[in-house]
Amino acid sequence: MATSRSNLFIVALVVWMTRIHPCSARSKPKFPAIIIFGDSSVDPGNNNYINTFFKANVTPYGTNFPGHVPTGRFSDGKLVTDFMASTLWIKDVVPPFLAPNLSDDDLRTGVSFASAGSGYDDLTTTLSNVITVSRQVEMFRSYIDKLKGIVGDEEAKSIIAKALVLISAGTNDLIFNFFDLPTRRLEFNFDGYTGFLLQRLEDLVEEIYDLGCRKIIVVGLPPIGCLPFQMKLRLENPRNRHCLEDQNSDARSYNKKLVRLLPEIQAELPRSKLVYADAYQPLMDMINHPEQYGIAETSVGCCGSGILVGLSLICNGMSPVCRNPREYVFWDSVHPTQQVYRQLAKYVVKEVVPKLTYAF
């Protein structure tokens, strides 16, 4: 009888520990860390620490973030990578400026080097003075050195090799240098410029591979022609909004090239796994079938919707803000709402992340 009671107590204790400690053996995380490069779609607030006007550290940004504070994320709340981290049992995604002091208890974290306004083309950042992708790699290099100082070279190499790496950029390159400003159109046609961007992406992948990264997700372009900023800028009658098919067609063309390129890069990098994440179709599905997602508005942003741009200079405490961001695809004139990011994260975790487990 005593043995029976003892066994019952042990079973109860195991159940209790499983509930209290979700990172138990039964729900062991697949990745020790998340490492992120790119633009505003994955920037948790890096631009707060540099001299640029591309910032989202003012209200009403962050109105639905825990604590209702503007963190520098270009959304009313969390980003795709925030939701991915929580689903994959990774600690909060933070800028390297706010990364923990890398104690043994805080190594399982998400670190994003991304900078709003950045792109693969360094020319994209000329006016905004944000962190170029090449500079993001240098920041990552410094982060690795700090990691090695805490856990040693071998453990640091293991963490980086097993980490989930996500790259999300390219939209700013086309908007700033091709669609809206003729900067690169003076020297490239569309095929030439996208080829240039994809070469820069390949260079980036090779750089971070040389630093130890092996499991890499590369995000494609969204339907750029459906961004409220682009529609209002290009349409003669902004009240009659519809997606710009020429820009969407160009985005699809870029994505097809990217899908073909990734296996070629992977073949040149032993023990690497490069996976494509489709940002176009999931977002387009929400725009075309909003009722399935509880969305009512697809063509204007929740914040600053009546003003020309609706970026951080316009989306601020004096901007008109919708009552329920959950019913909107876009938070401002470019960036999705937290609700949309939540849906995109579900797609990435379910459809994309499992492909990385085939790497080893």
Please write the tens of the pLDDT for every residue from 177-206.
999 988 899 999 999 999 999 999 999 999
DSSP one-letter string for 317-360: TTS-B-S-GGGEEESSSSSBPHHHHHHHHHHIIIIIHHHHGGG-
| Interval 247-269: pLDDT, tens | 999 999 999 999 999 999 999 99
- Please indicate whether residue 134 is annotated as part of the active site: no
Nearest to 31 by CA among 275, 345, 359: 359
Q: State the DSSP H helix or E strand holding residue 275, giving kind and residue range, or none if neither.
A: strand 273-277
Among 39, 40, 41, 168, the one annotated catalytic: 40
The band of 318, judged by pLDDT with boundaries at 50, 70 and 90, is confident
The predicted model gives 207-229 an average pLDDT of: 97
pLDDT at 336 over 90: yes
Phi-psi region of 48 (alpha: psi -120 to 50; beta: other; left: phi over 0): alpha
CATH class of this structure's domain 30-280+338-354 = alpha beta
Determine the pLDDT at residue 249.
98
Is the pLDDT confidence value at 107 over 80?
no
Q: Is the pLDDT of residue 18 over 90?
A: no
HSE-CB of 288 using CA atoms within 13 angstroms: 7
**Arithmetic mean of pLDDT, 167-181:** 95
Kindly tell me if the per-residue pLDDT of 301 is higher than 50: yes
- Work out the average pLDDT over 59-75: 96
- pLDDT exceeds cutoff 50 at 128: yes
Does residue 162 carry a pLDDT above 50?
A: yes
Is 278 known to be catalytic? Answer: no
Long-range contacts of 281-287 (CB under 8 A, 24+ apart): 282/343, 282/344, 282/347, 283/222, 283/223, 283/226, 283/329, 283/336, 283/340, 283/344, 284/223, 284/226, 286/329, 286/340, 286/343, 287/223, 287/226, 287/243, 287/329
Out of 118, 128, 299, 335, the active site residue is: 335
Proportion of the chain above pLDDT 70, given as a percent: 84
Please indicate whether residue 29 or residue 246 has the higher confidence score (pLDDT): 246
Name the percent of the chain in helix, strand, coil, to the closest 5.
Answer: 50, 10, 40
109 CB-side CA count, 13 A: 19
pTM: 0.89
Active site residue 332: yes
The pLDDT of residue 359 is: 45
The predicted model gives 213-217 an average pLDDT of 98
**Residue 103: per-residue pLDDT:** 56
Q: How far apart are CA 156 and CA 352, in angstroms?
A: 25
Q: Are 72 and 45 in contact (CB under 8 A)?
A: yes
Judged against a pLDDT cut of 60, whether residue 231 lies above it is answered with: yes
Question: Which member of 82, 278, 332, 333 is catalytic?
Answer: 332
- The whole-number pLDDT of residue 345 equals 97
Confidence of residue 273 (pLDDT cuts 50, 70, 90): very high
Q: Which residues contact 299 (CB under 8 A, 6 or more apart)?
A: 226, 228, 231, 241, 242
Mean pLDDT of 131-140: 96
